[in-house]
Amino acid sequence: MSESNANARPALTALSEDEIAFRDAVRDFAEGEIKPLVNKMDEEAQLDKALLPKLFEMGLMGIESPEKYGGAGSSFFMACLAIEEIAKIDGSVSVLVDVQNTLCTNAFIRFASDEMKSKYLPKLAREWVGAYALSESTSGSDAFALKLRAEDKGDKWVLNGSKLWITNGKEASVFLVFANVNPAAGYKGITGFIVEKDFKGFSVGKKEDKVGIRASSTCELLFENCEVPKANILGEVGKGYKIAIETLNEGRIGIGAQMIGIAAGAYESTRKYIQTREQFGKSISNFQGIQFQLAEMRVMLESARLMVYNAARLKDAGADFIESAAMAKLHASRAAEKICSMAIDLYGGNGFTREYPVEKFWRDAKIGQIYEGTSNMQLQTIAKMELS
């Protein structure tokens, strides 16, 4: 079955004409502009600088941002479509677009003051990459055990400490940083700050050498008496925990979209390969054992896509989507790892070489069960909501 025929199934017939046109435009962009660079970026473990301006020109860095700020004024679902299509080609570029839209831009739209929106949203839509800085060395799943401190110095805030595992760290010009202004108050002291890369006392530290999504920069951030203007608060002082929770709930759907994109890339590559690979005088796609494995992959992909799309639709509709987001991320990340592993099996020895694409899809898929909430944290969320 061709990709176009697969996309005509019920999971995609719910797309509007505008959504289909947008999805296809992103697909063409990914095939034409990103695909030729994938192997080089993976080997060098860095994003090709020529891609960034093209992503902005394509309108992929401000999908939900209102038109008055230079964005497309579109939906969260559209952002997920873009993330999925790009992930079919490269998980690294996909997560850059994901963090830009579902975390950074989304947080500005929902929580920033009018002054901060006017100052930063146009830049995020046209030229600036954003990063979302919550995690620390002792603050991963325990997201609010923050040690980064912020002190009120009258005319400014001064931040001291560090952040780890920050996506887009190398490319970003603006960072949404969570620090505690009152440790005695626990999580109620957590506050969001808008930090520009040129602020005094701020620097980007080492870039992690990762197994997968290697071209995506995952960096340490250092704050040494970092001076932040008093106006650069995201939301309200002491309300950062609320911003972090709500933004991550949305971001998990974006990661789900990335995972179904990676899985779809591996699936489609495998579907084509088994029809050309011959053993015992015929294509291996003629063997029932191979056919059944492909069918299993297709079922996992379709179920994951339905869950991600449903969660995104619920979010856009203003309905309760938290449990659906957790389930979508959990299932999509598991499905992606399994599908990509099965793809390597069906490629045989070729699948275990760098010459073919499925080993990279497999490496890129693993992170889905770790970042923006581990699988165990998704299970905890689901269980709590079921028992409440």
- Grouping H, G, I as helix, E, B as strand and the rest as coil, residue 50 is coil
Same structural domain for residues 124 and 234? Answer: no
Domain boundary among the residues 82, 113, 129 is at 129
What b/e sequence results for 38-70 when a residue is b if at least 16 CB atoms lie within 10 Å of its CB, and e otherwise?
beebbeebbbbeebbeebbeebbbbbbbeeebb
Q: Pairing state of beta strands 190-196 and 130-133?
A: unpaired
Domain boundary among the residues 239, 265, 288 is at 239
Of all residues in the chain, the percent with pLDDT exceeding 70 is 97
Q: Which residues are the active-site residues?
A: 372
Same structural domain for residues 248 and 382? Answer: yes
Same structural domain for residues 161 and 185? Answer: yes
Same structural domain for residues 193 and 266? Answer: no
Same structural domain for residues 35 and 112? Answer: yes
Q: For residue 102, what is the domain's CATH number? A: 1.10.540.10
Distance of CA 139 to the CA centre of its chain: 20
Q: Give me the chain's average pLDDT, please.
A: 95
Same structural domain for residues 59 and 77? Answer: yes
Say which residue the tokens 């499905």 belong to: 335
Query: What digits encode the pLDDT tens for the residues 291-345?
Result: 999 999 999 999 999 999 999 999 999 999 999 999 999 999 999 999 999 999 9
Query: What digits encode the pLDDT tens for the residues 235-269?
Result: 999 999 999 999 999 999 999 999 999 999 999 99
Comparing C-alpha atoms, which of 295, 325, 326 is closest to residue 76?
Answer: 325
- List the structure tokens of 341: 């592993």
Q: Pairing state of beta strands 130-133 and 174-180?
A: parallel
Confidence of residue 368 (pLDDT cuts 50, 70, 90): very high
Same structural domain for residues 260 and 368? Answer: yes
pLDDT at 6: 45
Same structural domain for residues 216 and 351? Answer: no
Query: What digits encode the pLDDT tens for the residues 75-133?
Result: 999 999 999 999 999 999 999 999 999 999 999 999 999 999 999 999 999 999 999 99
Confidence of residue 2 (pLDDT cuts 50, 70, 90): very low
Same structural domain for residues 260 and 324? Answer: yes
Q: For residue 137, what is the domain's CATH number? A: 2.40.110.10
Residues 6+ apart with CB under 8 A from 110: 243, 246, 247
Comparing C-alpha atoms, which of 104, 301, 325, 336 is closest to residue 212?
Answer: 336
Same structural domain for residues 249 and 292? Answer: yes
Distance of CA 198 to the CA centre of its chain: 25
Domain boundary among the residues 239, 270, 285 is at 239
Q: For residue 348, what is the domain's CATH number? A: 1.20.140.10
Q: DSSP secondary-structure letter at 189?
A: G
Same structural domain for residues 190 and 271? Answer: no
As for how many domains the chain has, the answer is: 3
Same structural domain for residues 125 and 157? Answer: no
Q: Which domain holds residue 106?
A: 3-129
Q: 65: alpha, beta or left, given left = phi > 0 and alpha = psi -120 to 50?
A: beta
Q: How far is CA 17 from CA 9, 13, 22, 28, 87, in A?
A: 15, 10, 9, 16, 22
Q: Contact 361/266 with Cβ under 8 angstroms?
A: yes
